[in-house]
Chain A
Amino acid sequence: MSHTKDNLHKEEQVHITSYKDHFSTLIALLLLTVITVVISVFGANLRSLSVFTALLIATVKVIVVAYYFMHLKYDKKIYTWLVLIVAILFVSFAVLTSIEYLNR
């Protein structure tokens, strides 16, 4: 049976993530953790760089967790939009606070 209008309205096709996919996500997260620790421990003389990369890698990890483990990839797009709105709200507050501090 092809996609009738009725089928599209019933959201019955739940996506089930395989064990293998979950395991691959974990491997990716562990690799990113190793990279951060290595950069921090061996790149101690590149201080400003290491703080920036640590935060960058943390953000990549958070996106991986939210997208795969928290199922944003397969859920309705409204969840992704809401997460983005909260993220933008937080980042703009953080940036505005820094600007205020830098202009003293």
Chain B
Amino acid sequence: MEHTSGFSLPNSGHNRDAEASKMGMWLFLFTELLLFGGLFIVYMVYRSLNPESFLLASFELDVTMGTFNTIVLLVSSMTIAMSITAIQTGNAKKSILLLYTTLGLAIVFLIVKYFEWSAKIHHGLFPGFEVYDNLPPGESLFFFLYFFMTGLHALHIIIGGIIISVVIHRTNKGLVNKEKYTLTENAGLYWHLVDLIWIYLFPLFYLIH
């Protein structure tokens, strides 16, 4: 049979390189780490300039909700790691179930975040509100950084959720299987990165009393 596509290399579509894919994913993760790293340095500098205000403002955050979300993310990190074990041992069904669990936990995280943010916005602690505008400069900075950094992190949770959905879809179709599971591994790496960033965000914003 003739190839229907206009251009095709011999053996095209068969040149998988799991190692190169993984290296590519790690290089991308490094850019992510430095992006958040820069924000952490901004936090560090502003905090050393306004230690008292940062301390006062941090008491507004709900430690219980923060701890709950930390646990949710840690458990989801385990479930996605387990889904790789499942696909490696040829159990696609179990892998999909564990991926759905991870997705469910991601949604739980976002729901808790939604309640946290709404409570803050309700109290006028969001940039643009009167209460926020009248805060001492240090405290408004704390809330600005809180919304920006947890917002950027939440965006990563959403993107991670989309990636996990793609893995579920492709595993369902058999495109991800016992021999070809790089996609699951890379989705796992991305998801663990999201967890890593939260591991630092949580103590820096919620636990600095």
Contact = CB atoms under 8 A, between A and B. Distances in A.
Interface residues of B, number: 43
Contacts of A62: 196, 199-200
A17 B85 contact: yes
A25 B78 contact: yes
Interface in B46-94: 48, 55, 63, 67, 70-71, 74-75, 77-78, 81-82, 84-85, 88-89
B145 interface: no
B82 A22 contact: yes
Given A54-B203, A65-B77, A65-B195, A40 B88 contact: no
Interface in B23-60: 23, 26, 30, 33-34, 37, 40-41, 44-45, 48, 55
| Size class of the A contact interface (CB-based, 8 Å) | 35 or more
Contacts of B71: 30, 33
24 contacts: A16-B88, A17-B85, A18-B85, A19-B82, A23-B78, A33-B70, A33-B71, A37-B63, A40-B206, A40-B208, A50-B207, A50-B208, A51-B208, A55-B200, A58-B200, A69-B188, A70-B189, A70-B192, A75-B22, A79-B26, A83-B26, A94-B37, A98-B44, A101-B48
